[in-house]
Each structure stands twice: as C-alpha cells, then as structure tokens.
Amino acid sequence: MQSLSSMRPQETGVVKKIGSRGALRRRIIDMGITPGVRIKVVKRAPLGDPIEVSVHGYNLSIRKSDAAQIELYSKDEERKVLKDKKTVFSGVSEHFSLPPVPSRNAELENYNIALIGNPNSGKTTLFNSLTGSYQYVGNWPGVTVARKEGQVKNTELPINLVDLPGVYSLSPYSPEEIVTRNYIINESPDLIINILDATNLERNLYLTTQLMELGCRIILVLNMSDLLARKGKVIDIKLLEQKLGLPVVSVSAGKNAGIDVLLQKIEKILLSKENTFGIRPVYSQEIEFALKKIGDMISEKSGYSEHERFKSVKIFEDDPLVITETGITANEASGIEKMRDNISRFYDKDKDILIADERYQGICALCDKAIKTVKKEKSVTRSYIADKLLTGKYTAIPCFILFMLGIFYITFGPIGSVLKNFCENFINNNTRGSIESILNYVGASNWSKSLVLDAVIGGVGAVVAFLPQVILLFTLISLLEDCGYMARATFIMDRPFRKIGLSGKAFVPLIMGFGCSVPAVLGTKILESKKDKNLTIFLIPFMSCSAKMPVYMLFASAFFPNHQMAAVLTIYILGILAGVLTALIFKDTLFEGEDAPFIMEMPEYKMPSFKNVFMSVWDRTRDFIERAGTVILVATIIVWFLQSFSVNLEMVSDNSQSILASIGNLAAPVFTLCGFGNWRAAVSLLTGLMAKESIVSTLSILYAGDNPENLSHILTESFSQSSAASFVVFALLYTPCVAALSAIFREFKDKKLIFISVAYQLFIAFLFSALAYQIFNLVQKFI
C-alpha cells in the first residue's frame, strides 16, 4: 500500500482512501482531500515532519503520521480509475422555495450583516475597509478568533457588520467554526458577505455550497483578483453568477478597490425583497432521496424549519450537534445509518465522504469553466525561490535563527540604543527642565513639584523612554506576520514543539507573547485541542512581553554596558528555556492527553502591506502608551504618595521612614536568598503586578528621586552585578500583570489551574533568581 507519507517531494498521486478518524478526518475531507483527487508532495519540513502538499491549487501542511493514513492508488490503478471515473454530481438546479424576505423599516433598526470566509481570504482587511476599524490583520490561519462588530461607513443605511472567525467549513471541528456556525444559524443575519480568495477558488467555494444550503441572502466577494491576474488567470464573473445564482463582486480589499461597488450592491439587496439565496447544490439521485427522507423527519418534529436543507445534509454527514438539536431518535438514526451504508456500497465510497466528494466534483467542474488562463504562469516565481530558502532542509533553521537574532540586534543593538537614549535625554533634559521652569515661575509648592517632576515625569518618563525600542520590536514582528513567514515558522517548529507536548500552531500565540501576554492568551483560540490550548496559556507568561523590556534594558545598560544585547538576549533565552522545562514537567501530568492533529494552510508569500503593518504596530503601541498614561501613571502617583508620606500623613525627607518602606520591609526578607532583600526592590516587584513597566517607574521614584537621568548610576551603588542579574531573572519569571492574569482566568475557566499557574510562576521565579545569584557569585570568584 502506498501512502501520502511515503511519497517523495514533487511526486504526485491520486487519493484512494482516508483512514483517519474523528475530527481530523472531517477536516481533511473539508480541505478537499477526497478519493479521486490528485495530490502532490511539495516538500518536507527541515526536520522531516510535517510535509507540505498541494491540492485543489493551494498548499497545506500535514504531519507524516496523519499523511500515512491517506492511501493512494498505484500507478496502474490510477490510470484505470481516472479512465472509468464518472461524475455523479448533478450540478446545480432549482432555487430554494422559501418565503419572501419580510420588509423592514431601516429607520428603526440596524441591518445585521455577517462577514464570513476562509482564513487568509482577506476577511479582516475587508472588515476594516467597510467599517474604518483597525482590527488586527495577519497572514496565517486563525488571526480572527472571536467575532468583531462595527458600523459600515459611507452608507445611509444603519448596517452592523460582524466579522466572524475564518473557517473552512461549517463542520464543528474547531472553536472558531462553532462560533461562526452558531451565529449564522441562531442570529439569522439579514445578509451574508462570503469573501473568497480568488487565487484559491476551488477550496473557498466549498464553504459557499454550505452557506447556500442555509437559505440566507448571500453576496459573493472575490478578493485578490489582481493576484490571480498576475498568475495569468481571470474569473468569468458572469458565468459564476449564472451558475450559482448569486451576485458576485470583485474587490481588492488591501487596495480599497471595488468597495464602492460592493456597498451599492449591499444597499440594493437590503432594500429590495429579492431572494438572493443562490441555487441549491443538488446531489446524486440516491443522496437526494435520503435527504428528502431526513427532511420529512425534521418537518414532522417541528413543522417548518428555517434551515431544513442544511440540517438534512448535516444529519446525513452524521453531525452530532445537528442530530442532538433536531431531536433525532435512536430508531431514526439507525434508519439514516442504513441509508448511508446502502449509498456507500452503491458508489463504493466511505459514507462520510459522499457529500464532500460530490460538492468538490461540482466545484471543480464549475471552476474549470469559470477560470480562464490568459497567460502561462512562470514555473519559478519569487515566492517559490523564497520558500526554497526559508523552508529548505539545510537553510530553514539558520534563516529562522538569523531572523530572531536580527530582531534582537536591531531592537537592542546600536539602532535601538541610539533611539532610546535620544528619547530619554529629551524627557529628562528638555521636557523636565521646561516643566520645572514653569512650576518655579508659578510658585508651585514643593510637594506639587515633587508630584509632577518625580512621579509623572520621572516615573512615567522612565517607561516612555523605551517606546522607540518597543515600536521597533512590534514593527519587525508585524513584518514577519504580514509577509506569510509565521505560517512557515509554524511548519518548521511543529516537530520540536511535539517534543514538549505542543502542536506547531502553538508557535503563533507564543511568539505573540513577546509583544503582549493578553492578545497571546486570547490567540490560543486557534488551537483545537484543549490540552494544547491550556498548556500554551501556561507557558505564555515565560515569553518576555514588551512591558518587561524596560526592566532588562535599564539593568543591562547599568551593569553590562558593553554587552547590552548579549545580556538581554540571554534573558529572553532563559525565559524560553523555563517555558520548555515547564512544558516537559506538565505535558503528561497536569495537561495529559493525546497530541493535537496538525493540518494547516500554507498561505502564499506577499509583500508586507504598509497599511497592515502600520495598523498592527499602532494598535500595539497605543496599548503601551495607554498603559503608561493610565495604569502606570496611577501606580507611580500611588508609589510617590506612599514613599513621600509617613503613616501619620506627614511629608518625609527620608523615604526609609515612609509608608512604602513599612510595607516593603515586610516583603524584603523573602528575597534575601536572591541578593536583593531591601524594601525598595521588593516594592518595585509588587507594583509590577499592576503593569511590568511600573517596576522601572517605581525604581526611578524610590532610587533616583529628582535625578532620574542618573538612575542607572544610582542602581550600580545599590545592586551588585549578582543581585542585579537575580532581580532581572525574578522580573522575567514571576506572575504576569493583572490584565494578563484576567485573560488567563477567562480562558482557563478553572480556579485550580489559575492557582497552580500563579503558585508555580512565583516558585520558579524565586528558585531561578536564587540560583542566578548564587551561581553568579560563584563564577565571579573564579574570574
């Protein structure tokens, strides 16, 4: 028996049988891998697993173990099968017989429109174009993991647009598919905008055929037709409209082209009573007979059913959610199973493949007519050359390492340092000096001058000084995301991630954790396995978020001025190693379970969009600035007040007599083994629970006071190199901020897990910090 996993790169074959089970089998089928389809092995990952294959004109990655379950015909069998193959799909014919669309008063209520499509189809970009919102856009599957809403602009109608998670089908395989399906079925939107990637029309139309069975009004939006034209192909839109019975609009969401035409079409449909439900896909005679019987069962139970056709098809496909919802009895289920078995034997095909197979046969026949080749595409494209280098057997890992080192060098090396020093001098010299002159001129009191200069300018300014480096980091990560490299990194990292109990898909939320833990935690919704999701959330706090960067840079510049980049890189690597150790400890204990399957689309490379990158960087930077202007500002004022006044609310000249000193002295002994058992250091770590940037602002207030420009020098008098290294290690590993903890709690939905997470992080932070202090001291004795 020849399987997909045994094929060599560039070899092709025809699928004979799919041996996988459960949700993975459903996903494989929905992605278009069905008996009789031709499939090509493009390449293997650098470590041999997973493999990348091409089917229906697009590429996807799949693990070797799962590919081994896909059996192929031998060459002799293949010739015979293709010669004898008959199309049983009857094409498309009659319109739905549904009641007319009820008239609505647009002045009294909003129209609700759902935006739905495959991942990487440009759905979120179109949402931004229609609403003016700035949602996050990325070039890998699963960026939108929850529905987002916005009001459509440039129209007189009150239209609420809902951006649903990207899905390949309406089968309940992943959390985002359930979110999307529940909204479409339960909320009954007035119109569905189904966006399709014109370069992957065959696979995208599979979702369309399911939507047409729901009986909802639909507009098809062909996105990226300009990219298809570069490949020398065009789509006959009129033919597509005729065959599907749906309005079709061509746009380029990234370039804002065709949006006006789309808006006009939306307004026309919403204000009219015409039923733009499309033409119902009709299956072979035997399947249609079975669907009629199932539809009669549903009607007997509940009378008229709004989505009867869709439910009938899903019951035939053995969809557990629909079977439960419609109340199909055990006897009825047994009868349906007998019909499926009979049809399966008649066509000599597995029963769970019948519907998908006939859908794809009809789609392929339609695409053969609708897609016209006007110019032959080059066999060697820039994307092909880039992929040969970035995912090559001997070049992928070195390129990945170079990318990561390049990010660190640009962010923390000469470029980042110069920008940071410029910003720091501007705040401490120009801004502080000007404001101090104004305060002296108006005769401000000493306490008010201290509040403004020491708390606001000194505390918040100490954090804002690192803003240029934060922007650099966000920009570089966004460039990798938008060009499509993140999906390749996931492909490359799947095998090593499996060693620690994770899927390669976990790479995306983990890398997001270097920006901010909150969106990284929310991003774990792209992981289908509960084990994968919870373990990834558990590890995200060990990926150093950008809020910790000011702490690292402050201590690196003070104690390792000639090796700043190496020192910061070491800290980041230590966090990653702590995460790996944690995964090895808990993967088979706290998070035991089967490994999640790995099947993922490989999007084409594209030039990063300036607009997308700008929006992504601005969104993340805005969050950093907002935290500096809210949480950190409040925290620094509180710290200033507590360190400026005694318990009797009298202003003190020596902050060791302050309220804060009293609190810090209670916590300080805990850190004696770590080498920084003084109240100032202890208090700064406590304020870091509100926001990690607060550590720097607190240190600035407590140590530097009215000389924030000398903070680095003052710290060298209060910390040794050993205790400084220990302090940074603790800041790296201990409990994340309140916002991140809140997100973790919402996703865990388990008090036990959140308690274990916090307790473990405090323990590992203390242990590694104490070890760092002792080892550093020991090393210094021998140097």
For the stretch 165-179, pLDDT in tens is: 888 888 766 666 777
Beta partners for residue 601, in sequence order? 60
Tell me whether strands 159-163 and 111-117 are parallel, antiparallel or unpaired. parallel
Q: Look at residue 230 in the predicted model and tell me its pLDDT.
A: 80
Three-state SS string over 504-573 comes to HHHHHHHHHCCCCHHHHHHHHHHCCCHHHHHHHHHHHHHCCCHHHHHHHHHHHHHHCCCCHHHHHHHHHH
Please report the pLDDT score of residue 92 as a whole number: 42
Spatial CA neighbour of 124 closest among 151, 162, 177, 172: 162
Strands (DSSP E) contained in 335-422 are 371-373
- Output the pLDDT for position 702: 83
Helices and strands in the chain, H and E counts: 36, 17
- Three-class DSSP category at 593: coil
Question: What is the spatial distance between Cα 469 and Cα 105, in angstroms, rounded to a whole number?
Answer: 52
pLDDT at position 101: 44
Kindly give the parts of the chain with pLDDT less than 50. 86-103, 105-106, 108, 139-140
Centre a 10 Å sphere on the Cβ of residue 626 and count the other Cβ atoms it contains: 11
CA distance 634 to 703: 19
Question: What is the pTM for the complete model shown?
Answer: 0.78
pLDDT value at residue 25: 84
Q: Which residue, 471, 431, 463, 664, is CA-closest to 551?
A: 463
CA gap 510, 576 in Å, rounded: 10
Q: Cβ neighbours of residue 651 under 8 Å, at least 6 residues apart?
A: 447, 644, 645
Q: What pLDDT, on a 0 to 100 scale, did the predictor assign at position 98?
A: 40
Q: Supply the pLDDT for residue 770.
A: 93
Map residue 59 onto helix, strand or coil.
strand
CB 209 within 8 A of CB 281: yes
Give me the residues paired with residue 43 across strands. 52
Distance CA 416, CA 55 (A): 44
What is the pLDDT, as a whole number, of residue 591? Answer: 84
- What's residue 503's pLDDT? 85
Please give the Cα distance from 367 to 523 (Å, whole number): 34
